[in-house]
Structure 1
Amino acid sequence: MSKPKYITLVILSLLFSVAWLLGLYVSLGLSGFSTERRMWLFIPSLLCLIPSWFIDKRLKKESYKIKPQISIGFCLFLSFFGLALVYGLPYILPYIKS
């Protein structure tokens, strides 16, 4: 693989990862939008992980030193744990305070 193609794939992978993080940020309510406006963004943000995962899988086969690699399992765990934490915390806090 040529260096320009490798650099293009790394940039695409990073853009998809940033799109996932931005979607996660908005869908978890950290941006202040209402629930109706943000929940529709959770699934598309997870779908941004698929092309990033395929690109990272292809880059892993190459012999370059720098390989951006975030496991898909960790990203899914982070997404669902964050979602459960944000929506479950209001129900858990009264039990913790008492």
Structure 2
Amino acid sequence: MRVFTAILLILLILLQYRLWFGKNSVPDYLVLIENVVRQQSANEKLQQRNKLLFADTDDLKLGLEAIEERARNELGMIKDNETFFRLIPKESNTRNVNN
């Protein structure tokens, strides 16, 4: 009976060792869970970004307003009989702030 108990005890110790320190152990599992949560968060951010990009492409395909907005903001284009004003702050104000 003592031999059987000793064998069971050794088996229990080996199984516990593998559970806590071996390959695919509990700490490894916890690290994997943390990585999965981090990846899911990154995926959600990318999905939101994709939705915005799809909305932009749909707007560019269907509406001229988005094209006009980009032409005005990025290329500085203006319509006929339209005056464009650009306000530039005085350099003296920025120098006083820096001093």
State if a TM-score over 0.5 links the two structures.
no
